[in-house]
Structure 1
Amino acid sequence: MTLSFFDQFMSPVFLGIPLMALAFTLPWLLFPKPTSRWLNNRLITLQTWSLMRFTQQIFQPLSRPGHKWALILASLMVFIISLNLMGLLPYTFTPTTQLSLNMGLAVPLWLATVIIGMRNQPTHALGHLLPEGTPTLLIPVLIIIETISLFIRPLALGVRLTANLTAGHLLIQLIATAVFVLLPMMPTVAILTWALLFFLTLLEVAVAMIQAYVFVLLLSLYLQENV
């Protein structure tokens, strides 16, 4: 029986138990809780340093009112990285390859930035729809184009994350299938293909972390326009 390559994006079940329930326990093992000790261990120190550097880089161009978003955006990045990396484990799937999940994260946060801009500085927020010095004949066209670009932002956020992770997982699946097919016929070519698969897996780990960073970075840019 030949299975579809897209079956890897379905939640696997073993003896009626979804394996995702077991996979969800792994990220909690990787995120230790801070203790009351004066000196932390290396893992907590690395975790704290990474979050501080990320927060500093993301929120440095933002004004002070935007700093209130530091906790939610840092938590969002850790959450997305956990889901992306968890999907690389055997017998699991990546939840962030589902467009519904990514849109569920992108739309409310994008809408919150728009509402903040409309409430705090409505003139400045509406001014993005019409650049200064626009010729009279182009005003209706530019307003329509800018409105479409505004409402397409959450779709771009969700589709970007979904497409990058789906493409990487499909490529890994195709090359892994080629390794199993070539192994009995051409072992040398199969070993070379396996080496390519290994480097592609390392690349996918990097993509999983970079896409989480890009998702939060774009949200911070949207927030910067409205605070």
Structure 2
Amino acid sequence: MNENLFAMFITPTILGITTLPIVMCFPCLLVSKPIRCLPNRIQTLQLWLIRLITKQIMIMHNKQGRKWAMMLMSLILFIASTNLLGLLPYSFTPTTQLSMNIGMAIPLWLATVILGFRLKPKVSLAHLLPQGTPTPLIPMLIIIETISLLIQPLALAVRLTANITAGHLLIHLIGAATLALSSISMTVSTITFTILFLLTILELAVAMIQAYVFTLLVSLYLHENS
């Protein structure tokens, strides 16, 4: 029987009950918790990274937007740790599920839109109609801009899902090829294993980059509306 390539993306269950909520709690294990007054090297590195990323994301925001700093940092840490945890053997990556990513993207996007209409409704409505638009094109452009606004959370979710899923599939295929070639030619199998090792390193970078991109886009939506 041929193995289903997409079997690793099926939500794990125990006795018919999904274990996704439990899996989503595992990323906190990757974060070192202080157990003494002075932080160790890992905790110092984590604090340095958090401060650096916070500075990069929040530098464009005003006082109103900087209130979101804690939420945005929690978001990027959750997505990055979830992506990294999914690269471990016999694990599951929740961010490969489009439903979960949409569930993260829609509330965040909707909160930024509501914030924009509450703080500066005229500017938010002005985004739907570019300045200097010819009168005959006004209805069409309003429809186009409204559609582009509504698909922003879908674009966020699909981007994260597609990148994580593609990388996992590629690792799975090359890993299967390495095992199959090991009984045929050790030289070719070694080359394939080297490619698999380099791809795994690339996926580690992609896991963190996609978390940063997702959070940065949410931050940009917030900047436009705050």
TM-score normalized by the length of structure 1: 0.93
- Counterpart of 1:90 in structure 2 is 89
For 1:136 and 1:36, locate their aligned partners in 2 and report how far apart those are by CA, in whole Å. 67
- Counterpart of 2:30 in structure 1 is 30
- Counterpart of 1:6 in structure 2 is 6
Q: Is the 8 A contact 1:23 1:86 kept in 2?
A: no
Alpha-carbon spacing, 1:6–1:60, altered in 2? closer, same or farther (3 Å): same
Identity in percent: 58
- Counterpart of 1:40 in structure 2 is 39
- 2:60 aligned partner, one-letter code: P
For 2:22 and 2:89, locate their aligned partners in 1 and report how far apart those are by CA, in whole Å. 12
SS of the counterpart of 2:225? coil
SS of the counterpart of 2:91? coil
- Counterpart of 2:117 in structure 1 is 118
The alpha carbon displacement at 1:163 in A equals 0.3
- 1:117 aligned partner, one-letter code: G
Question: What is the root-mean-square deviation in Å for CA atoms of aligned residues?
Answer: 2.1
The alpha carbon displacement at 1:152 in A equals 0.5
Number of residue pairs the alignment of both structures matches: 226
For 2:225 and 2:143, locate their aligned partners in 1 and report how far apart those are by CA, in whole Å. 20
- Superposed, 1:134-149 pairs within 5 Å as 134-149=133-148
- Superposed, 1:182-201 pairs within 5 Å as 182-201=181-200
Runs of at least 5 residues in structure 2 that lack an aligned partner in the other structure: none
Q: Is the 8 A contact 1:76 1:216 kept in 2?
A: yes
SS of the counterpart of 2:64? helix
- Counterpart of 2:204 in structure 1 is 205
Q: Is the 8 A contact 2:27 2:78 kept in 1?
A: no
**Which shows bigger deviation, 23-32 or 153-162?**
23-32
The alpha carbon displacement at 1:10 in A equals 2.0
CA deviation string 1:133-174 (max 9, x = no partner): 111111111111100100000000000000001111111111
- Counterpart of 1:156 in structure 2 is 155
Q: Is the 8 A contact 1:20 1:92 kept in 2?
A: no
TM-score normalized by the length of structure 2: 0.93
Q: Is the 8 A contact 2:124 2:225 kept in 1?
A: yes
- Counterpart of 1:70 in structure 2 is 69
The alpha carbon displacement at 1:23 in A equals 6.0
Runs of at least 5 residues in structure 1 that lack an aligned partner in the other structure: none
Alpha-carbon spacing, 1:131–1:92, altered in 2? closer, same or farther (3 Å): same
For 2:144 and 2:15, locate their aligned partners in 1 and report how far apart those are by CA, in whole Å. 52
The alpha carbon displacement at 1:41 in A equals 1.1
